[in-house]
Chain A
């Protein structure tokens, strides 16, 4: 029975991320609006958009293959499966018979989602989809090794890449207390976070103009419920990246017990950490301009360099 209880809890945590994901987007949009002295739509607007899309008719390109119809569902499924790896509130205290929670698996599943989205974008046979796919894959492959290096930098100190164990060890071990490598890794993570969530200065989530398009360009040919699935996956992924940063660097509040009080504390801590990272995203997006696409590698190079230095400081 036990492995199924573990998987059940992992699914509940993933469901939490899926449900709250749009709210975080709504919050960032609201924050941006206020910083630009606008009223802005209210926090729940992303949910209304999703609801509206779910009830619309699907219009599909007549040149697309049958696979196109399955792409949104598979992208959402890959993202949500990836989300089950994250300890959001609760960390399993004893090893499970069917373990979930490996950071490498989490990043690989996110890559799967990105790969499937790119395939879908090429399917309709429009230049915009192809361009978006090409750029998104390029940025993705530059972000992934740096993100891995950040994870390794923390994992080498903890001796595991299991996110649950890792966060638990950070709370217990003195060798895992904050040091210079953590600062560098956190800085790298913040740079990479902007790229992974598809925000300015790397990508602009608000438009799909040709000059800026990356992620939005890939979604042009999706419509109705299919588009809703992909948009929901995007919201979820954004919150996942924020949560991953929180788990790697500030695993405060994560609980091992199922007591209501501790779960409430964990939920409050989760909300606080997400809020801080979301404010960071909103502030950066309001104060910087989008980089030219071929400047992005240099920007990401900053992240890569910090991640490398962090790893070097950790092992040397």
Chain B
């Protein structure tokens, strides 16, 4: 038995080494393609089906998303063996599923024909489904997996319609033919196809209101799987959206239709706000992070939508490049910090076997590495300088404000409102992570699980350090990465590359250089600001230590004269209470207080409190759809008698009606 276990662990380790090697190779190819100006890398695949050729092609956009996949996969591969060892749940299945998952994601991004794309897309869904249901075998997770599968396939169905429509016009499956076929379609058909694609990719990316599966499925997977699903898989869906919106369905010349950009911008704004508002009320660490993914996808869509809106000529093409660069950079940034946060959450679960932050507390002293890396991720995701979240949000802000100034009128106002909502989102995220970090890692341990927590093994910390390093590098010297965005931005928008706009004043300075008359550039240097911050902090530290030479004294926290205990620590529920009241219209908070009294009504024996908030999309939209479907099924049931004659009759009627309608031509 022991030998078998050793063998299994060896296979697990080997499997993840394969993932790591694959990630490094992917990163190598991606950076090579991004830095070169040569034609896209083209690979012809063996002919699996008689009716279609299959091939891969790595152009700028593919390469950039390949880079995102590689970053996430490398960290997950370092982290996973120790995590699997600590949890021992279906180790082999999880290893194979992870490899398949990463491979399929890479294939989606590199696919050069509809067939490869759809097969890889389906493989990605199924592999991640295996990760979702294999970790903890509970009814809840099985249901999460089911909802995930249903939503993912609803999206795939929409994509299938889009692809098949294009294929019938092109009589071929490869993307270049589809591109040409799309150009021959008229405007309204293309808009319909784009909206269908937006639905398909939006369902996978967790765009509100199609996000309901996300907070169920992502927390259910093992933590490195969650990191990949949240940090990377959602980006693969966005890759599809970028590929369709800017490339496959785009008109041959002239601007993209205004309705596309505004729809994406609107969905992005709603997703950002709703995602973070719902995240604030979660107490399950991984569920909270999953809702934040909805928010960040929204922020990326704001950038993407804005790029579509601004790419209408009229002197705003540089701002469009800025917006698109912001969206792409935020995709990479989100992969880094959300991956990091999920891995930290996994480390907390490994150390305490607890996901509910109300049961944790005081972990900073017991798990210092996890705690400080989580704090780093929290600062990054809250878009606070000098880390990477701020950089891409700053670029989005600049594009919104300057774009708003340039567009004027109602469009300008909408851009301004989107910018303010983005600011609100940032504030909400900071509040949410002050809560998440404070309640989980600070104060006193609330349970014995938390009290006896142990730091995770070194390989897990190494996985987290990879992503933490990415957060710091992308934050302090973003210019070097923005240089890599040149190729995707100039491919998608017929303008100059990102480095000609964003880092026109050197790699250490970010600028919103915009040619239009009357507008000047705004520039910042995150590098300089970080250096100033460090300098001032050192001076302040010295000044503080200089006058008082008396050593620090440690005393218990003042608790109004009572004996301090963990019950004095502020809880996550209490922390988020003001917002629950302010945004009550959206949350519809429910609250239930049960007081059990003894013989006398004045003696309280037990007091229990239960409160919850609802996700309106789930209760209103999906519950009602489900109800409607159920009612429809019930109605049909009256006519399904079970007698074979009846069914033959139905078939005949259907056939005749179909022939009457479609049989003429």
**Which residue of chain A lies nearest to B433 when distances are taken between CB atoms in the complex?**
A115
With a CB–CB cut-off of 8 A, which chain A residues contact B427?
A: 111, 137, 140-142, 144-145
Instruction: Please indicate the chain B residues that have their CB under 8 angstroms from the CB of A142 in the complex.
Output: 427, 582
Could you say which of A105, A108, A220 has the most chain B C-beta atoms within 10 Å of its C-beta?
A: A108
Determine if A133 and B575 form an interchain contact, defined as CB atoms under 8 angstroms apart: yes
Contact of B544 with A311 in the complex, beta carbons under 8 Å? no
Is the CB of A156 closer than 8 A to any CB of chain B? Answer: yes
A203 at the interface (CB under 8 A from B): no
Q: Report B387 CB to chain A, min CB distance, Å.
A: 10
A84 and B559 CA atoms in complex are apart in Å by: 39
Q: Mark B569-611, 1 if CB is under 8 A from A, else 0.
A: 1110011111101100000000000000000000000000000
Taking the nearest CB of chain B, how far is it from the CB of A301, in angstroms? 10
- Compute how far the CA of A204 lies from the CA of B224 in the bound complex, rounded to whole angstroms: 46
Pick from B372, B404, B529: contact of A100, CB below 8 A: B529
Q: Is the CB of B413 within 8 A of A311?
A: yes
Binding site for B on A (CB under 8 A): 3, 7, 11, 54-67, 69, 72-74, 76-78, 80-81, 84, 95, 97-100, 102, 104-105, 107-109, 111-112, 114-115, 118-119, 121-127, 129-131, 133-135, 137-138, 140-142, 144-146, 148-149, 152-153, 155-157, 159-162, 165, 220-221, 224-226, 228-229, 293-294, 297, 307-308, 311-312, 315-316
Taking A111-B384, A141-B431, A229-B544 as contacts, is the C-beta distance between A127 and B419 under 8 angstroms? Answer: no
A123 cross-chain contacts in B, Cβ below 8 A: 364, 438, 442-443
- Chain B residues near A77 (CB-CB < 8 A): 533-534, 536-537, 540
CB-CB < 8 A to B245: which residues of A?
A: none
Stretch at the interface among B88-96, B168-176, B287-295, B515-523: B515-523
Known contacts A58-B552, A62-B556, A220-B558; A316 and B410 CB within 8 A of each other: yes
What CA separation (Å) do A225 and B540 show in the bound complex?
10
Inter-subunit contact A130/B570 (CB<8 Å): yes
Do the beta carbons of B524 and A99 come within 8 Å of each other? yes
Residue B255 at the chain A interface, CB threshold 8 Å: no
Q: Which residue of B lies closest to A210 (CB)?
A: B560
Contact assessment for A112 and B379 in the assembled complex, using a CB-CB cutoff below 8 Å: yes
B551 contacts across to A, CB distance below 8 A: 57
A112 neighbours in B (Cβ, 8 Å): 379, 384-385
The closest CB in chain B to the CB of A62 belongs to B554
Interchain CB contact under 8 A, A125 and B522: no
Which DSSP category, helix, strand, loop or mixed, fits chain B's interface?
Answer: helix
Choose one: A57, A97, A141, A161; the contact of B550 (CB below 8 Å): A57
B553 on the interface (CB 8 Å rule)? Answer: yes
| A140 surroundings in chain B (CB, below 8 A) | 427, 430-431
Chain-A contact segment, one of B6-14, B123-131, B133-141, B504-512? B504-512
Q: Is the pair B569, A130 in contact by a Cβ cutoff of 8 Å? A: yes
Contacts of B365 in A (CB 8 A): 65-66
Q: How far is the CA of A65 from the CA of B557 in the complex (A)?
A: 13
CB distance A156 to B401 under 8 Å?
yes
**Which of B371, B524, B533, B553 contacts A60, CB < 8 Å?**
B553
* Cα A316 to Cα B571 with chains together (Å): 46
Instruction: Give every chain B residue within 8 A of A84 (Cβ-Cβ).
Output: 532
Cβ B578 vs Cβ A115 within 8 A: no
Say whether B665 faces chain A, with CB atoms less than 8 Å apart.
Answer: no
Closest to B559 in A: A126
- Among A3, A65, A66, A144, point to the contact of B424 (Cβ < 8 A): A144
Contact with A along B423-444 (1 / 0, CB 8 A): 1101110110111011101111
In the assembly, what is the distance between CA of A109 and CA of B526, in Å?
A: 11
Which residue of the partner chain A has the closest CB to B555? A59
What distance in Å separates the Cβ of A5 from its nearest Cβ neighbour in chain B? 13
User: Are the CB atoms of A145 and B416 closer together than 8 Å?
Assistant: no
Give Cα A135 to B571, complex, Å.
13
B32 within 8 A of A: no
Q: Which residues in B have their C-beta under 8 angstroms from that of A114?
A: 430
Determine the distance from Cα of A7 to Cα of B520 in the docked complex, in whole angstroms: 21
Contact B398 A161 (CB under 8 A): yes
How far apart are A129's CB and chain B's nearest CB, in angstroms?
A: 7
The answer to whether A127 touches B568 (Cβ under 8 A) is yes
The 6 closest A-B pairs by CB, nearest first: A130-B570, A141-B427, A122-B438, A125-B443, A315-B412, A159-B519
If A125-B443, A315-B409 touch, whether A155 touches B423 (CB-CB below 8 Å) is: no
B residues contacting A by CB (< 8 A) are 361-362, 364-365, 368, 371-372, 375, 379, 382-385, 390, 394, 397-398, 401-402, 404-405, 408-410, 412-413, 416-417, 419-421, 423-424, 426-428, 430-431, 433-435, 437-439, 441-444, 505-506, 508-509, 518-525, 527-529, 532-534, 536-537, 540-541, 544-545, 547-548, 550-559, 564, 566, 568-571, 574-579, 581-582
In the bound complex, how far is the Cα of B287 from the Cα of A18, in angstroms? 42
Q: How far is the CB of B251 from chain A (nearest CB, A)?
A: 28
Across-interface contacts of A104 in B (CB, < 8 A): 394, 397-398
Q: Are B544 and A73 touching (Cβ within 8 A)? A: yes
* B528-A7 in contact (CB<8A): yes
Q: Are B434 and A119 in contact (CB under 8 A)?
A: yes
Q: Are A81 and B438 in contact (CB under 8 A)?
A: no
- Do the beta carbons of B522 and A102 come within 8 Å of each other? yes
A-B contact pairs, 28 of them (CB 8 A): A58-B550, A59-B554, A61-B557, A62-B555, A62-B557, A63-B557, A63-B564, A65-B364, A66-B368, A67-B375, A80-B536, A104-B398, A105-B529, A111-B427, A118-B438, A119-B437, A123-B438, A125-B362, A126-B569, A141-B428, A144-B424, A145-B427, A159-B518, A162-B522, A225-B548, A312-B413, A315-B412, A315-B413
Cβ 8 A contact of A125, one of B382, B534, B555, B568: B568
Task: Give CA–CA (A103, B578) in the complex, Å.
Answer: 28
Chain A residues with Cβ below 8 Å from B408 are: 315
Q: What residues on B are CB-neighbors of A61 within 8 Å?
A: 554-557
Is the pair B529, A73 in contact by a Cβ cutoff of 8 Å?
A: no
Q: Which residues of A contact B578 (CB under 8 A)?
A: 134-135, 138, 293-294
Chain A residues with Cβ under 8 A from B433's Cβ?
A: 115
In the complex, the answer to whether B533 meets A81 with C-beta atoms within 8 Å is: yes
Contact A115 B522 (CB under 8 A): no
Given contacts A145-B423, A293-B578, contact A97 B537 (CB under 8 A): no
Q: Give which listed residue, A69, A108, A122, A159, contacts B402 with CB less than 8 A.
A: A159
Find chain A residues with CB under 8 A from B394 CB.
102, 104-105, 108
In whole angstroms, how far apart are the Cα atoms of A40 and B402 in the complex? 48
Partner of B505, one of A59, A97, A119, A307: A97
Q: Which residues of B contact A165 (CB under 8 A)?
A: 520, 522
Q: What separation, in Å, do the CA atoms of A58 and B551 have in the docked complex?
A: 7
- Given the known interface contacts A115-B384, A145-B423, the answer about A315 and B548 at a Cβ–Cβ threshold of 8 Å is no
Contact of A156 among B416, B527, B555 (CB under 8 A): B416
Taking a contact as CB atoms under 8 Å apart, the answer to whether B444 and A125 are in contact is yes
Q: How far is the CA of A162 from the CA of B441 in the complex (A)?
A: 38
A115→B429 CA distance, assembly (Å):
10
Residue contact A145 to B577, C-beta cutoff 8 Å = no
B303: min CB distance to chain A, Å: 15
Quick one: closest B residue to A131, CB to CB?
A: B570
A160 to B513, CA, bound (A): 10
Are A159 and B405 touching (Cβ within 8 A)?
Answer: yes
Can you name the residue of chain B whose Cβ is closest to the Cβ of A123? B442
Flag if A74 contacts B537 (CB, 8 Å).
yes
Q: What residues of B have a CB within 8 angstroms of the CB of A100 in the complex?
A: 524-525, 528-529, 532
